[in-house]
Chain A
Amino acid sequence: MSAVESQGVALGGLEQAELPVARTARRRRPTARSLTLRIVGTVFVLALLVFMVGPIVWLAVRAFSGLWQYPQFLPSDWTLQWWRTVFDDKTLGHSMRLSFEFAPIVTVASAAICLPAAYAFSRFNFPGRRVLLVSLFATNAFPKIGLYISMAGVFYSLNLMGTFLGVVIVQLIGTIVFMTWIPTAAFSAIPRSLEEAARDVGAGPLRVFFRVTFPLAAPGIFVAMILSFLAAFDEAQGTFLVGIPNYITMPTEMYTLVLNYPEQAAAVFSILLAIPSVVLMSLARKHVMGGKLAEGFQIR
């Protein structure tokens, strides 16, 4: 096997990490260099572990802690009483139910509004296409709190303050970028020749869409829907401003909880609030990691 071939195998294969190390190591000072790199790598991974997971674990432990004195790494006393406190609290239960009502409605509404547009953005090259695609980005560029304040003014005039519809609209705003950009990239990734081939063998436009285009774009749309659901589910500021006092969802409740409840109750509530995110993101993980999200943010 030539050098080029063995390199190719190494890069495509399992031992890629060793490649740069092994290569220089073979030439000079083999053990010292690779050892340093290995130590640096291990420290980096450990630091990343603490940085990324540490806060979550620390908070999760708190949800089961009775007595916990500084400077001890773990509580000296474990309890489930904070879970009872949260489950017995009627307002908290109500806010959980509300959250699960809003998020699906917002996701479906967002899909209905944005998916046809995503299809058009990817399939038709009309004048102003790129400008419009970028203009949706305005939803991200304007500071949210400033936007909500000015929206509140308009909402007062439209009698949307404190209404169900008002909250749906506020949450919808945060989903539009996901729901347009990611499916646009997903539709664009489908070769037109596939659709043309289906049409050539006699399939009608609708049939082509539902039998060819849609199934191929489905992973991208799925990622967009999950991200939209979570964006709506986690939206706190706008919901707080528009929904109060009738519609307090879980994340909005969190602001109050952090300030007014014992730390342990807030920790329990945090875990409950994180469950939907963890479950849904786990479902979409493969596609998100596979680049569906990244593709959506490169405008073509």
Chain B
Amino acid sequence: MVLPPVAVVAVFIGFPVGAAIAYTLGKTGGPNSTVSLLAQRQHVAHHGVTTAAYREVLGNSHVRADLWATVWVTLVTIAVVVLLSWAIGLYLRLSDTRISRIVSALSVIPLFIPVVIASYAILTFYASQGFIKTLAYHLGWHSFPTLGYTLWAVVIGEIWVNVPFGVLMMSSGLNSVPNALIEAARDSGASLPRTVRSVLLPMNVIPTVIVATFTGIYVLGSFTVPYLTGPSAPNLMGVSMANFFSAFNQPQQAEVMAMIVFVLAIGIGTIYIWANVRAAKRASSTT
């Protein structure tokens, strides 16, 4: 029964990824023969493998700039999304007023909007004639910087897209903390920050790790948000990958970049899996 989805993943993801690994190492035969037919600047290994494509890509200063931009945007987005999800999650956990219900509704709005549209909307909102500039103008701040087509717009877009998942994860995690525990801490004189630090935080490591890792992986592999809102260079790896593939007709270099991002994503994914396995072990040892 488990076979069908695993088979789909194996055939349409595992196999292409395997082929892509071989291709980046200079193997142009087999499943890569069609792609390599028209590709430019290919590094071909006639015997064994070659790391020439990796050396070329990593030696390219533009790619390195894109890589740093990707890492920077990913880290900033993770930090903000985790903080924001915690703040909203805590607020929703400790409060049930009309305002908190509005906040909860606001924070899931991005779920309802396709990413293409969100990116476009965010671009126009922060553009040189967008709302933020207009607002700044009326407030007398005429030299307010235009965020559209900068990495800041990318960060804003990625945060916007990732907030609902973060809030849903964190409020689900925080809701599973029994009221009795919070009350006990408060009654023994713990302040609210102390209660958060010593009760809520230790009990919500897993949801926090999930929010951080999934946000990170999403940003690393994203294309639409940076493509529509970001600068032409340096931009995120997803965009430059697509450029190397279609505009420069260098699929091998594009795949090398995909591998670099994949390695980063695997690094993040390992944290997620480690945290989950640790939690599952602990759960099974206590019951």
Contact = CB atoms under 8 A, between A and B. Distances in A.
Interface stretch (A70-78, A193-201, A207-215): A70-78
A298 B204 CA distance: 12
Nearest to A62: B124
Interface stretch (A28-36, A82-90, A169-177): A169-177
B44 interface: no
B187 A4 contact: yes
Contacts of A12: 179
Given A139-B13, A153-B19, A114 B258 contact: no
Contacts of B124: 55, 58-59, 62, 263
B120 interface: yes
B2 A277 contact: no
Interface string A1-33: 001100110011111111110011000000000
A278 B31 CA distance: 41
Nearest to A11: B179
Interface in A113-130: 113-114, 116-117, 119-121, 126, 130
A17 B206 contact: no
Given A7-B186, A41-B99, A234-B114, A145 B262 contact: no
A206 interface: no
Contacts of B169: 294, 297
Contacts of B230: none
Contacts, number: 305
A260 interface: no
A149 interface: yes
Contact of B217 (A8, A18, A141): A141
A132 B15 contact: no
A23 B187 CA distance: 11
A273 B168 contact: no
Interface range on chain A (Cβ under 8 Å from partner):
35 or more
B122 interface: yes
Interface string A132-152: 101111111111111101111
Given A17-B91, A54-B131, A117-B1, 12 more contacts: A52-B110, A58-B131, A59-B125, A70-B129, A71-B133, A113-B8, A136-B5, A255-B116, A277-B114, A278-B113, A293-B168, A300-B283
Interface of A: 3-4, 7-8, 11-20, 23-24, 41, 44-45, 48-49, 51-56, 58-59, 62, 70-73, 112-114, 116-117, 119-121, 126, 130, 132, 134-147, 149-154, 156-157, 169, 172-173, 176, 179-180, 230, 233-234, 236-237, 251, 254-255, 258, 263, 266, 270, 273-274, 277-278, 281-282, 285, 288-289, 291, 293-295, 297-300
Interface of B: 1-6, 8-9, 12-17, 19-20, 23, 31-35, 87-88, 91, 94-97, 99-100, 102-104, 106-118, 120-122, 124-126, 128-131, 133-134, 137-138, 160, 163, 165, 168-169, 171-173, 175, 179-180, 182-183, 186-187, 191-192, 206-207, 210, 214, 217-218, 220-221, 223-224, 227-228, 237-238, 241-242, 245, 251, 254-255, 257-259, 261-262, 265-266, 269, 273, 276-277, 279-280, 283
